[in-house]
């Protein structure tokens, strides 16, 4: 697999991930709306230890997500472009924003989360499973656990 590469709008932050996405989804929660400046956020989960930041400085801010968990959102310190997010209490995966990827064509979402918070004027992706609120265990945690179990084996 070719590494996933990406960065910010001004080019200061550059990263690559040597792992393919474990989970890909669209989130309509209010926090993702605010963080993306849009009606939703599109993310790919990758193992955090497979992401390398090649250049640039990032800032972060911590929020309490609708799930109740603390989420650390990272963005370029120069242009403010959202780059990634992760849970500080469980930093095994990092959610890369699809907008930051050089090749957004790899994005194939399977689920849309928090559709109860979606804006009525925004259409849904036709091929995703719609989840009214946060994801069930099998949507996010199960594929992550399976990946790390296979890596240890």
Domain CATH number, residue 41 = 2.170.150.70
- Which residues are within 8 A (CB) of 59 and not within 5 positions of it... i.e. 6 or more apart? 74, 75, 76, 77
Q: What's the pLDDT score for residue 96?
A: 97
pLDDT tens, residue by residue, 52-76: 999 999 999 999 877 788 999 999 9
Are 126 and 32 in contact, with CB atoms under 8 Å apart? Answer: no
Q: What's the pLDDT score for residue 2?
A: 80
The residue-averaged pLDDT of 2-15 equals 95
Q: What's the pLDDT score for residue 60?
A: 96
In this predicted structure, the answer to whether residue 139 has a pLDDT above a threshold of 80 is no
What are 153's two structure tokens?
């084996």
Q: What's the pLDDT score for residue 1?
A: 64
User: What is the rounded CA–CA span in Å between residue 151 and residue 153?
Assistant: 6
Q: What's the pLDDT score for residue 69?
A: 83
Rounded to two decimals, what is the model's pTM? 0.89
Give the range among 2-6, 21-25, 64-68, 79-83 with minimum mean pLDDT.
64-68
- The number of beta carbons lying within 10 Å of the beta carbon of residue 85 is 25
User: What is the rounded CA–CA span in Å between residue 141 and residue 112?
Assistant: 15
User: What is the rounded CA–CA span in Å between residue 87 and residue 59?
Assistant: 15
Number of domains in the chain: 1
Question: Residue 132 belongs to what domain range?
Answer: 4-152
pLDDT tens, residue by residue, 88-138: 988 899 999 999 999 999 999 988 989 999 988 988 999 998 988 887 767
Q: What's the pLDDT score for residue 28?
A: 92
């Amino acid at each position: 697999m070719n590494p996933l590469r990406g960065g910010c709008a001004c080019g200061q932050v550059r990263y690559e991930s040597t792992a393919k996405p474990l989970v890909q989804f669209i989130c309509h929660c209010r926090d993702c709306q605010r963080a993306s400046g849009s009606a939703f956020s599109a993310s790919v989960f990758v193992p955090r230890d497979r992401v390398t930041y090649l250049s640039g400085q990032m800032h972060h801010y911590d929020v309490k997500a609708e799930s109740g968990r603390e989420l650390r959102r990272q963005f370029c310190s120069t242009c403010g472009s959202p780059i990634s997010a992760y849970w500080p209490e469980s930093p095994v995966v990092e959610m890369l924003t699809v907008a930051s990827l050089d090749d957004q064509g790899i994005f194939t979402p399977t689920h849309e989360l928090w559709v109860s918070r979606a804006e009525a004027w925004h259409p849904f992706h036709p091929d995703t499973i719609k989840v009214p609120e946060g994801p069930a265990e099998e949507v996010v945690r199960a594929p992550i656990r399976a990946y790390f179990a296979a890596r240890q084996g």
